[in-house]
């Protein structure tokens, strides 16, 4: 292993531990200790290193998952389809790169994009049948989320 690869492997391991700790605090304890922007900076650094050294990517990397595990305090609901998330962007260049990826993926489609500031909150999946809410579930790990149906019922419209 070359020195730069060894150095990258060490930094990747450090970033993964740090990100996992922040994921645990955010998703499992609901008690984050860093800002979203600082978390995104760490996460972006990990992505950049994994792109430069793809041989160091492992299946358990935080870049290979959506979020933390569902909380034990709630019952769980399996999503009908994976509930994924988009990357954050902080510059016009990143928005442009995203748009160019869409154009490549959908070459024969007219693409309309709406951009709005990110507002922290919860990603939730709602299932209605005949106009009645059957359940509400958080994103969780993207496959299984927390059942928050009772909590959603307290939100005023």
Residues designated as active site: 118
**Among 146, 143, 139, residue whose Cα is nearest residue 124:** 139
Question: What are the φ and ψ backbone dihedral angles of 76, each rounded to 5 degrees?
Answer: -110, 155
| Cα distances (Å, whole numbers) of residue 123 to 47, 66, 90, 136, 148 | 23, 12, 20, 10, 11
Locate tokens 């988009």: which residue? 86
8 Å CB contact between 122 and 85? no
8 Å CB contact between 126 and 133? yes
**Among 56, 15, 70, residue whose Cα is nearest residue 39:** 15
């Amino acid at each position: 292993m070359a020195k730069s690869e060894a150095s990258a492997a060490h930094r990747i391991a450090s970033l993964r531990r740090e990100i996992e700790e922040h994921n645990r605090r955010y998703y499992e304890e609901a008690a984050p200790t860093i800002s979203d922007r600082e978390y995104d900076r760490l996460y972006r650094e990990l992505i950049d290193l994994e792109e430069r050294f793809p041989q160091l990517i492992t299946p358990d990397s935080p870049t290979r998952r959506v979020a933390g595990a569902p909380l034990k305090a709630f019952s769980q609901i399996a999503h009908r389809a994976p509930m994924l998330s988009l990357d954050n962007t902080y510059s016009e260049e990143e928005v442009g790169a995203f748009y160019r990826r869409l154009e490549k993926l959908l070459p024969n489609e007219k693409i309309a994009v709406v951009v709005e500031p990110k507002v922290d909150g919860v990603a939730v999946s709602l299932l209605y049948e005949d106009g009645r809410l059957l359940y509400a579930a958080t994103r969780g790990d993207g496959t299984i989320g927390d059942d928050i149906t009772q909590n959603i019922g307290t939100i005023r419209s």
